[in-house]
Chain A
Amino acid sequence: MRKESLNIERTNPIISVRGLEKSFGSLKVLTGIDLDLFKGENVVVLGRSGSGKSVLIKLIVGLLNPDKGTIKVFNEEVDELGVKELQELRLKIGFLFQGNALYDSMTVRENLEFPLVRNKRNLTRKQINEAVEEVLDNVGLLQTINQMPAQLSGGQRKRIGLARTLILMPEVILYDEPTAGLDPVTCVEINNLIDEVQKKYKTSSVIITHDLTCAKSTGDRVALIVDGKFGYQGKFEEVFTDKNVEAKNFFDYNFIIDK
């Protein structure tokens, strides 16, 4: 169970997805996804590997185009936006990639400066340095500022990826498998960091994972993808009941560290 949530404003959803379908050739990945994300809410999307979880958030941020259905983010239909409008919308959306996607030819400082100097061109050198140092301090890795991504551990790379996302002060963060490939202790640290970030930056999040510990400790609401659509949605404890066979099976195959 999540320790503490922000006040969730369940009036106008920040992200609203209706009847979303996506196929790759003959492979139907999403077959009718409906999802609302409200301000201050963390929604965890669970599902087996290849169930279309990552495809869903790539569709939300406009990296892929849907076959059918609508995606509205801050009341703007993503699929209909021009290049400039989409860039403006993306300033409000942070995206943490599964593999972190740190620019490996740049230092940590340059990784963080990259989106900042290109989107906020009136900042002085002093303001840029302060912003970079502040956000690195928030993820607890100020000491790595001059290191290259290759010199960092998996957990550190995740944190730096999150710091790069946070530097543009997004209102929504899309996490793609934030704890994938990390040891259990680092997973707990990342889960706590997601919580801290939400409180400090007042963000809403969609968290893609198949890690139930992460789902339990970070999600206000959990949605389980079954056969390309959400089979079950609700609070963590509600979804994993004996009545929900697929959810129960998914649950049984996972090992939860209850912390």
Chain B
Amino acid sequence: MEGDDFKYVNDKPIYLFFYNIYSVYKFIIRFFKEVFLPPYEFKEIIKQCYDVGYRSLALVSLTGFITGIVFTKQSRPSLAEFGATSWLPGLISIAIIRALAPLITALIAAGKVGSNMGAELGSMKVTEQIDAMEVSATNPFKFLVVTRVIATTTMIPILALYMGFVGLLGAYLNVLSNENTSFIAFFEHGFGNISFLDIFSSLIKAIVYGFTIGIAGCYQGYHAEKGTHGVGKAANAAVVISMFMVFVEEVIIVQIVNSMRPL
């Protein structure tokens, strides 16, 4: 028994919970099967990368810049108490590169990109556009899901790196407004406290978040129930599940990375 047939027969919440987990697992397996097999939808991948990456630039820039300024402003008084304001560049770089840049980028993407995917695919599902692709002997999964998940998985790490840079720029401007520090000195001090593991783990985190947001958005849209209510529910679930999963993954990855860090 598959798909909707299962849901009709086993409508108890506990069955549906396990059914949904199994269904997500199958969805992910199908993604890995189809991502390597031709035909490749290069044009659609580029379009999705443009939508996910370029169209999020303004929001990511603004958020990153403000995060850098606010975080520096809030940290200064505490460090000033110990006469340690010279540690600001190092502290801010660690916080932004290790945690804030990938996490905030992922949360923005979950809200902006995840909801968009849930609503768009959900709307295509309820208006039978996905069925129309299937009956015209094309593979809707490859065109709609694989392309979007590739786009989020590649673009969110790039956005996270970019946000890290913009955040540090905001932090530098705040530092500059209080004391005369050169751009080079700020960044030298900041990056002096950053190791390869920090940048590498941030990238890995952003890749995992990107994949999660893509899968959650596409899964919810692809399995949207009939009607406008189904579309709204899919968009909402895409955001909520993405954000929840991002935080769970953050905790797990931080534990793993910290265990790898030299004492």
Give me the interface of A with B, judged by CB distance under 8 Å: 23-25, 58, 61, 63, 65, 87-88, 90-91, 93, 95, 97-99, 101-105, 114-115, 118-119, 121, 164-165, 168
Contact = CB atoms under 8 A, between A and B. Distances in A.
B136 A115 contact: yes
11 contacts: A23-B8, A25-B9, A90-B136, A95-B132, A99-B127, A101-B129, A102-B132, A118-B137, A119-B136, A119-B138, A168-B136
B188 interface: no
Contact of A24 (B8, B133, B138): B8
Contact of A101 (B2, B4, B132, B137): B132
A168 B137 contact: yes
Given A25-B9, A87-B137, A90-B137, A65 B132 contact: no
A105 B120 CA distance: 10
Interface string B183-196: 00000000000000
B263 interface: no
Contact of B135 (A23, A63, A99, A105): A63
Contact of B128 (A24, A93, A99): A99
A164 B138 CA distance: 13
Which bracket fits the contact residues of B?
Answer: 20 to 34
A63 B2 CA distance: 12
Given A88-B137, A90-B135, A90-B137, A103 B129 contact: yes
Given A99-B127, A118-B138, 16 more contacts: A25-B8, A25-B11, A63-B131, A65-B2, A90-B136, A95-B135, A97-B132, A98-B128, A102-B132, A103-B129, A114-B136, A115-B136, A118-B39, A118-B137, A164-B132, A168-B136
Interface in B125-149: 127-129, 131-139
Q: Which 9 A-B pairs give the minimum distances between C-beta atoms?
A: A101-B132, A25-B8, A115-B136, A101-B128, A95-B135, A90-B137, A87-B137, A118-B138, A91-B137
Contact of A104 (B39, B129, B131, B139): B129
Given A25-B8, A25-B9, A101-B131, A121 B39 contact: yes
B37 to A, nearest CB: 11
Nearest to A86: B137
Q: By CB atoms of chain B within 10 A, which of A91, A97, A99, A118 has the most?
A: A118
A244 to B, nearest CB: 33
A118 B8 CA distance: 34
A119 B132 contact: no
A84 B135 CA distance: 12
B161 to A, nearest CB: 30
Contacts of A99: 127-128
